[in-house]
Structure 1
């Protein structure tokens, strides 16, 4: 009995040892065969398309400002208000300007009175000169006084007209029909002459404004096809055309503003909508594009892991332009190669992998 129990105990220990050894071997096998993501290399031009987020803007946008300084007394528009040409947008306090106009008006009246007196004296002395009762010198003096009075009237009238114009400038009116895109001043605020207070987008053409990095400008200039989609209008696309590329890069972002015109804009687009612009590169240029996550680099030469017969090996590549999460491969890959795109840092040459 004692011997049978001891034998049974030994048998259990042996079975447990065999079981644990099997689990260890299975776990080790799984650890030696990691799971990675893969991609089949294709030689085509599809990877050259670039996508940019943009905003629907008006082609003609005008920043309006008062031509005189003053305190804003009234604001008649809100952001998004639809206005017509001649509508009053804002008004500033015109009391001081009105007083200036009154002063100029009084100066005009005084100058006209002096002119009437100078004219009467000139007529009187002209008659006396013709009768021989006055000298030529006296006549010339009154002629000069008349001309001085006439010039004073012209000066006073010009000052009055200038003041009247400034009084008219105290009211800001829309120069065309459109939509208010920005309001930069409020009632009670003191503004200076020329300070932008309202931005109006004129009715008419709509465009998409995007920002393009430096390494994509040449591609943008030579773009063959531009497609514009709208996040608020699923399934709606429109043909676009590059109308304008800014010659100067933004000082902070180092990108260039690009305007995409819409020859046939779809219905339902509104100012400020977010758009997605897809720019296709030259269709006659084929290249290989791979995700940046597929690149494995320990020295100066970039490499990728190639999967063949379930095993991985490193292959050096020659890199080209990169952007939008993709890298152009100039040399080193062929059509049909299977590469690892995720998990490149945990591999070693000759290692077996599981992939999808």
Structure 2
């Protein structure tokens, strides 16, 4: 009995030992091969084309305003109206100005009457002086009275002319043929002298207005090629030239306004159209532009992951300007290099990846 129990215990221990031995076996861990997004470096495309959205504007845009203050009585144009030189655009209440003109007109009549009287008196006393009936001092008094009356008449006439001009200023006229692109005041509104009320775009040359960040200003000034396309005109591309770069940045957006002149624009281009301006860099420096997501920063050094035979390695690069989600690489990459453009933070040196 005891021997049988001992044999059973020995067999049980053997089974447990075999079981534990089997559990201690470890299967080899498969190396993780993450899938990454990649891009082939092409130095032939070194001339970057930065794209900017803009708007079709007129070469000459005039902010029209009344030269006198008053309440607007009538607006004769609508947004987009085509006008000719001399057309009436707005009118303001001229009642007070008319009263001023009436007053100055009466002052002119009074001054002319005083001048006529002074002139007659001077002629009479000059004759009396020649006959020896009056002294030279009396003649000088009437000569002075005449000169004062003449000055008063000239002053009254000038005031009347000024009032008449102001009466004419109560009507706002188009200074040239063009299109109304902005209306900034309505009938019933009281405006001050010089306050812009209408924007008039003069007929003629059309331009594109864009806004450029400060790190692209030099590139814009030296642009070797500017191409303009239009959202509303598929397939239409127009060559352009940089005509004007604002020397001062916008206080809010901190961008610089740039005007692009169009070369031989088609007649279908209308004011306010949305335009896309592609500017080719003329620096001549060999470089490539890659997505910002491809940069792996270690300290102060930018790096990129380069794929070679399915294995990634970290390579330091020299970065240039950046914008629009891309960054310029000046040194560190060669033609045909394959780089990782997404998921760079999850990689390690020598890791295998799938593309």
Fold conserved between structures, TM > 0.5? yes
Give the distance between the partners of 1:246 and 1:339, measured in 2 at CA: 38
Within a 5 Å distance, the mapping from 1:13-162 to structure 2 comes to: 32-162=32-162
Residue of structure 2 equivalent to 1:237: 237
Deviation at 1:352, TM superposition (A): 2.0
Deviation at 1:193, TM superposition (A): 0.6
- Count of aligned pairs: 329
Give the distance between the partners of 1:316 and 1:134, measured in 2 at CA: 111
Residue of structure 2 equivalent to 1:218: 218
Deviation at 1:32, TM superposition (A): 1.4
Higher mean C-alpha deviation, range 75-84 or range 342-351: 342-351
Residue of structure 2 equivalent to 1:4: none
Query: Tell me, which stretches of 5 or more residues in structure 2 are unaligned?
Result: 1-26
Give the distance between the partners of 1:63 and 1:210, measured in 2 at CA: 20
8 Å contact kept, 2:286–2:330:
no
Question: Measured at CA, do residues 221 and 283 of structure 1 come closer, stay the same or move farther in structure 2, by a change above 3 Å?
Answer: closer
Give the distance between the partners of 1:331 and 1:118, measured in 2 at CA: 94
Query: Tell me, which stretches of 5 or more residues in structure 1 are unaligned?
Result: 1-23
Q: 1:289 and 2:289 equivalent? A: yes
Give a deviation string over 1:31-81, Cα, whole Å, max 9, x none: 812211111111124451111111111010100111111111111111111
The root-mean-square deviation of aligned C-alpha atoms, in Å, is 1.7
Give the distance between the partners of 1:62 and 1:312, measured in 2 at CA: 60
Higher mean C-alpha deviation, range 287-296 or range 57-66: 287-296
Secondary structure of residue in 1 paired with 2:239: strand
Residue of structure 1 equivalent to 2:335: 335
Deviation at 1:313, TM superposition (A): 1.9
Secondary structure of residue in 2 paired with 1:328: strand
Deviation at 1:283, TM superposition (A): 7.2
Give the distance between the partners of 1:78 and 1:156, measured in 2 at CA: 40
Secondary structure of residue in 2 paired with 1:208: strand
Give the distance between the partners of 1:156 and 1:318, measured in 2 at CA: 78
Higher mean C-alpha deviation, range 125-134 or range 163-172: 125-134
**TM-score normalised to structure 2 length:** 0.89
**TM-score normalised to structure 1 length:** 0.89
8 Å contact kept, 2:287–2:331:
no
Within a 5 Å distance, the mapping from 1:291-306 to structure 2 comes to: 291-306=291-306
